[in-house]
Amino acid sequence: PMSAEAGSYLGFALLKLQQAEEAKQVLLAALQNDPCHAASQGYLAETRFFLGEKQAAQADLQNAITLSPANGYFYLVRALWQRSSGDIQGAFESIQSSLKLDPGNEFSWDVLGNLYQRQQRNVEAVQAFRSALRLKPNFSLASANLALSLAALGEGSTARQALTAATPTGDLLIDAAAWLAIGYAEEKQGRFAEAERAYRKSLEIDPKLADAWNSLGHYLIRVRRNVEAEEALRQAVKFKPNFAQSWVTLGDVILQRGDKAGAKEAFEKATVADPKNAGGWFGLGVVRSQLGDFAGAVSPLEQTVRLDPSKSAGWAYLGEIQFRSGQRDAAFKSLQEAEKLDSKNETA
């Protein structure tokens, strides 16, 4: 009962079982038995951080580092806390200290790779994740992260191989995001069949991932499978009702099949979801004009060119509606702007 070592392991186990209050009491007792027991001090820091006692947790972690300055694990813990608070530079310094003391810790390499990812330094991230996987080949989280960085570098096929060979992490968000990133990379490289498989794999893992439904919808439009695209986009806005870009694209698809009222509803929802999305206002102006509501089309088209002055089509449609409404001077200026931005704009 006086063993601080046993108390530290018990406290750590209780923390992993999310029995944090009980873990805290066990670890405090361990430190009463041995005030210089660094592991108990470190685990107490993690427990207090979990309980939201962050100031006390920071003090406990510093005590643990003072007691055992060569223990790389404590610097790993500090890096994780700094990352979660947005202190990326501090996290870099801590994780580098951790790896200097313990270069054989695969988790530290994974954290280093993730920090590189956050700075869009994917070449360095790939190196870090591969270091983690050399130490632990079945490290599924590092495999998923490696796939994300490879996909960001445009290496979709290599990313797919890395992810296919790995055991799923069990975290739907990470696994689905990795396949989604592979889909982006494959589509960008023109490997459309592989892109579709990756998007569908992402949705197989997380059927409620709106970004994957949106990407699948865009891909299906690209290959002219509009019926399937409409269904995919409807799923995207079902799971993410404020997804403005999905509403815009859905409106375009609905309008292409001639359902002007349905398209108008989709564009209206896009403008509500994101009033700064020029595409929603443009679509709403166009569909109102097609429904004969020329007066109602002017305001959305004016909003379009305010939000995106470089959109030649917005100026052209605005000019057309102004002309139909008898605003010839305003129409002339709008059409001149459209032609200046795109000399091949047929509408202008």
- Distance, in Å, from the CA atom of 80 to the CA atom of 200, rounded to the nearest integer, reads 32
Average per-residue pLDDT in the chain? 92
Q: Residue 241 carries which DSSP code? A: T
- Distance, in Å, from the CA atom of 30 to the CA atom of 243, rounded to the nearest integer, reads 51
pTM over 0.85: no
- Distance, in Å, from the CA atom of 290 to the CA atom of 255, rounded to the nearest integer, reads 10
H-type alpha helices, 51-119: 54-67, 72-85, 88-101, 106-118
Judged against a pLDDT cut of 90, whether residue 158 lies above it is answered with no
**pLDDT digits over 40-82, tens only?**
999 999 999 999 999 999 999 999 999 999 999 999 999 999 9
Q: Please write down the HEC assignment for all residues of 140-192.
A: HHHHHHHHHHHHHCCCHHHHHHHHHCCCCCCCHHHHHHHHHHHHHHHHHCCCH
**pLDDT digits over 210-231, tens only?**
999 999 999 999 989 999 999 9
pLDDT at 259: 95
- Distance, in Å, from the CA atom of 219 to the CA atom of 80, rounded to the nearest integer, reads 37
Residue 112, sorted as left (phi over 0), alpha (psi -120 to 50) or beta, turns out to be alpha
Q: Could you tell me if 48 and 60 are in contact, meaning their C-beta atoms sit under 8 angstroms apart?
A: yes
**pLDDT digits over 11-24, tens only?**
999 999 999 999 99
pLDDT at 267: 95
- Distance, in Å, from the CA atom of 65 to the CA atom of 73, rounded to the nearest integer, reads 9
